[in-house]
Amino acid sequence: MKRLTKLILFVVVGAAALAGFAWTQMPRETRSTQNAYVGADSIPVATQIAGRVTQVHIKPNASVASGQPLLDLDDRPYRVAIERTQAKLAQARLQARESLAEVTAAEAEAKRIEHLISQSRTRLARATNLAQQGFVSSQGAEDAQAQLSIDLASLDAARARVIRARTEAYPDVDKHPGVLAAMAELRQAELDLDYTRVKAPAPGRATNLRLTVGTQVQANAPLFMLVSEQGYWVDANFKEGELPGIAPGQLAEVELDAMPGTLFKGVVESISPGTGAAFALLPPQNATGNWVKTAQRVPVRIRLTGLAPGTGLPIGASANVTVHVR
């Protein structure tokens, strides 16, 4: 009887061992890791211009809508700049109109000289005729010839002024290069004035906000972050031996340590082309005599889906991730 009991016990233990071994060798339907952290799409908020903060419209960690005012800068210097460029534009248009008037004046001067040349030719012909008949000396004809030469040279100069004036003049004043440059400066000044009102480029939550009225800010210097409430993801760092079977498009479940009991749905978005250590500032050097093999981890990005509007998750929070590979 004792032998039978021992035999049965031996069979049961052996069967259990074989079943356990077979279970470990069977492909699992899920991959899980606790080495995972929450991330989100974020936008650094910065001003396009330098200035002094005159008003802050939001509070730290507040949710904002797209286009909502965030802060204001002192706009007085930029209003003065607009007035200055408006005066410059008026001066440029005046000069453009003067260029048109210069064409008219140059053409009139050329016509006047042409009339003088006609008179000089007449006087030269008369003086030459009288000199040939002996009524006057040849000096009169020579003087008339000299005057005609002077008038012809003046006509050449007048015609050159006409060409230059026509080159510098534009029938449409607003097409004149000087006017176009002044108009561009005015548009830039108006744009700078609009930049004194900083608005949210997208919906999200303002984080790391420490601005106060009176702060002097520089152009393009990040002031705080705007975290999107619809762009959350989790970077799950799986061991390299757990990667087989994981592929983009697979469904996943995420539970945050900060929100126990709440499961978030997700989908595998991508798998990193390298391990986390490979992209470190100082990657490990394994070509040493004391090398010890250590399982590396590869980041797998999981995009969270189906989040309710207004859901806010703590960035950088730890998470437990389960990926359904089958």
Element containing residue 224 per DSSP (H, E): strand 224-239
What's the pLDDT score for residue 23? 45
Q: How many residues are present in the chain?
A: 326
Calculate the dihedral angle through the C-alpha atoms of 124, 125, 128, 130, rounding to the nearest 10 degrees. -110
What's the pLDDT score for residue 123? 72
Select from 3.20.20.240, 2.60.120.1060, 2.40.30.170, 3.30.1540.20 the CATH code of 28-73+205-284+291-324: 2.40.30.170
Across-strand partners of 302? Answer: 234, 268
Element containing residue 2 per DSSP (H, E): helix 2-25
Q: In sequence order, which residues have a C-beta less than 8 Å from that of residue 228 and are 6 or more positions away?
A: 40, 41, 42, 43, 202, 203, 204
How does DSSP assign 136-171, residue by residue? Answer: S-HHHHHHHHHHHHHHHHHHHHHHHHHHHHHHH--S
What ranges do the domains of the chain cover? 28-73+205-284+291-324, 76-193
Please list the pLDDT of the chain residue by residue as tens digits (326 residues): 556 666 666 666 666 666 555 445 444 588 899 999 999 888 899 999 999 999 999 999 888 998 999 999 999 999 999 999 999 999 888 877 777 677 777 777 778 777 777 777 777 677 677 667 666 567 766 776 777 678 677 777 777 777 776 676 667 778 778 888 999 999 999 999 999 999 998 888 898 898 999 999 999 999 999 988 778 999 999 998 888 889 999 999 999 998 898 899 999 999 988 887 776 666 766 666 676 777 889 999 999 998 887 778 888 999 999 999 87
Across-strand partners of 319? Answer: 36, 256
| Residue pair 302/267 in contact by the 8 Å Cβ criterion | yes
What's the pLDDT score for residue 26? 41
| Residue pair 239/297 in contact by the 8 Å Cβ criterion | yes
| Residue pair 123/144 in contact by the 8 Å Cβ criterion | yes
Element containing residue 6 per DSSP (H, E): helix 2-25
3-state secondary structure of 97: helix
Give the separation between CA 147 and CA 141, rounded to whole angstroms. 10
Give the separation between CA 286 and CA 277, rounded to whole angstroms. 12
What's the pLDDT score for residue 58? 93
What's the pLDDT score for residue 159? 75
Element containing residue 5 per DSSP (H, E): helix 2-25
Distances (CA, A) of 317 to 34, 38, 236, 256, 320: 11, 5, 12, 7, 10
| Residue pair 241/293 in contact by the 8 Å Cβ criterion | no
Q: What angle do CA 87, 90, 92 make, to 5 degrees?
A: 110
